[in-house]
Structure 1
Amino acid sequence: MKDSFDILIVGIGGQGTVLASNVLGEACIAEGKPVRSAETHGMAQRGGSVESHVRIGAEHGSLIAPGTADLLIAFDLLEALRYRHYLPEGGRVVTNSRFVPPTSVYMQNLQIPDESEILTGLAGLSVTCVDAAALAAEAGSTLAQNIVMLGAASVDIPLSPEALLEAVRKCVPKKTIEINEKAFRIGRSTDRGC
């Protein structure tokens, strides 16, 4: 029997995956739950993939094995497709509905995939799509997209919304607390579908 709830947060450099994992860690501490986490940055400075593994309740090991994640939070639609193998069939993914075309698309003159092609690649999973940019703008800043995504995923995470909001307050810069609180609440109340 599995002793943890495993969340993989993925995106590209600069989207705030590490901040989101820090928020989850702080919320676990507030609730007295053990937590393990690890980040892989790769070529993040050049728009490359970033992944953050968060294991709530885990006593050993910080990396999630492929096919065993309970939840995938993707800040970029293409990254949801790239990391889908971490979920079992029927697994849960909360993804941004937008994506940044990789540099290789332009460098190699490749065709940019459309949203429907990417969503076809996510068939067999339980998918929620979130227009994080629009919702973050509604909250007051497009820089709060990561907190919107965390809010949208929070209904699937075994942590209280109060602990998550308190963690947001601790982790974001003081001058952005109000915007990020609003972003979390807007994300949490978003529709659950694609």
Structure 2
Amino acid sequence: MKPSFDILIVGIGGQGTVLASNVLGEACIIENRTVRSAETHGMAQRGGSVESHVRIDGRFGSLIVPGTADLLIAFDLLEALRYRHYLPAGGRLVVNRHLVVPTSVYQQELAVPDEESILAALSDLEVTCIDAARLAEEAGSILSQNIVMLGAASGDIPLQPGSLEEAVRRCVPKKTVEVNARAFRLGREEGMLGRGAA
């Protein structure tokens, strides 16, 4: 049996992956669970990849070994494809139905990938695709997409929904608490409905 539940959160600089991992860490503290985490920022300030490793009940290092993650939460379709190798075949992926095309695609005049082809490349996984922008706007702020995604993935995370929502309230700026709590609940509802469907 694995000693930890390993979650990899991936996105692009500015999408809030670090805040999302902080929320998970805070929820672990609320439940008196051990947690280890690490972030790799890369060139995030220029729209580069950001990855956050979160290991719940882990006894060893904070970095997840490729092929062993229990859950991948991707804030962008291309980032899901880029980090797919962290999941075993049949692994669990919750992904935002959003696509930021890298500048290099245009510079090199490459074909722009579409949602259908990306999801086809991820077909060996158990995928839930979420329109986080729509739900974030419904919650009151487009900037709450990261919290929507946490809510959407919460059914797969071995933490109580109440602990996760309380962690959201503790980690986000005070003036955005209610918007983000709503974003979490909307994401959770959508995630439970969309589980196992692309």
| Whole-angstrom distance in 2 between the partners of 1:6 and 1:60 | 12
Question: Offset at 1:101?
Answer: 0.5
| Whole-angstrom distance in 2 between the partners of 1:98 and 1:88 | 23
Counterpart of 1:109 in structure 2 is: 109
Counterpart of 1:93 in structure 2 is: 93
Question: Offset at 1:106?
Answer: 1.6
Structure 1 stretches (4+) deviating beyond 4 angstroms?
A: none
Counterpart of 1:3 in structure 2 is: 3
Aligned CA RMSD, in angstroms, stands at: 0.6
- Once the two structures are superposed, residues 31-67 of structure 1 have per-residue CA deviations (whole angstroms, 9 ceiling, x without a partner) of 0110000000000000000000000000110000000
Question: Offset at 1:109?
Answer: 1.6
| Whole-angstrom distance in 2 between the partners of 1:145 and 1:60 | 31
Question: Offset at 1:183?
Answer: 0.2
| Length-normalised TM-score, structure 2 | 0.97
Say which SS state the counterpart of residue 189 (structure 1) adopts.
Answer: helix
Tell me if 1:32 matches 2:55. Answer: no
Question: Offset at 1:107?
Answer: 1.4
Identity of aligned residues (%): 74
Counterpart of 1:14 in structure 2 is: 14
Count of aligned residue pairs for this structure pair: 194
| Whole-angstrom distance in 2 between the partners of 1:99 and 1:167 | 28
Say which SS state the counterpart of residue 85 (structure 2) adopts.
Answer: helix
| Whole-angstrom distance in 1 between the partners of 2:105 and 2:177 | 37
- Once the two structures are superposed, residues 69-102 of structure 1 have per-residue CA deviations (whole angstroms, 9 ceiling, x without a partner) of 0000000011001100000000000000111111
| Whole-angstrom distance in 2 between the partners of 1:116 and 1:158 | 30
Counterpart of 1:118 in structure 2 is: 118
Structure 2 regions of 5+ residues with no counterpart?
A: none
Structure 1 regions of 5+ residues with no counterpart?
A: none
Correspondence 1:1-194 to 2 at 5 A: 1-190=1-190, 191-192=193-194, 193-194=197-198
Say which SS state the counterpart of residue 53 (structure 1) adopts.
Answer: strand
| Length-normalised TM-score, structure 1 | 0.99
- Residue identity opposite 1:65 in structure 2: V
Say which SS state the counterpart of residue 8 (structure 1) adopts.
Answer: strand
Question: Offset at 1:118?
Answer: 0.2
Question: Offset at 1:187?
Answer: 0.1
